[in-house]
Structure 1
């Protein structure tokens, strides 16, 4: 794993999302040189994947909490995967 990937892996969902939003905002402004844009895009892609993984993990935990001892939903609907 690269240093950048290690750095991202240690981020919380909120921290990663904040960095991703900053990257998107800077790229949308169009004032970033091409090479830097590519680097930012690549980091943004890793951040997006990290956020997706953390979100899916949280959804799975919530779904598990909502299941009763017999594995059936306990009065609450499970999360919609979308």
Structure 2
């Protein structure tokens, strides 16, 4: 797939770094992808690339949320065992 220009960065170039984003960065990038898709005016190929990036960003966000939930559950379990 060829790199495609989107707001000063390439879609592929952006995708390469998506996995390293923090939760807030990934969420903000996902919101920007949604905004671009809702605004329209992109070709089908560009829209598909944006959609794919959005899917990747959503997975990054979900991994962060799953990790936070696991840490919270572990902390609650440790607290319960200390109290019990």
TM-score normalised by the chain length of structure 1: 0.74
Shift of 1:47: 0.6
CA distance in 2, matches of 1:36, 1:6: 17
For these two proteins, the number of residue pairs brought into alignment is 72
Partner of 1:7: 17
Stretch moving more, 3-12 or 13-22: 3-12
**RMSD across aligned C-alpha pairs, in angstroms?**
2.3
Shift of 1:51: 0.7
Looking at structure 2, the residues matched to 70 and 9 of structure 1 have their Cα atoms a distance apart, in angstroms, of: 34
Is 1:29 the counterpart of 2:39? The answer is yes
Which one has a larger percent helix, Structure 1 or Structure 2? Answer: 2
Which blocks of at least 5 consecutive residues in structure 2 are unaligned? 1-11
TM-score normalised by length of structure 2: 0.73
Q: Counting strand residues as a fraction of each chain, which structure ranks higher?
A: 2
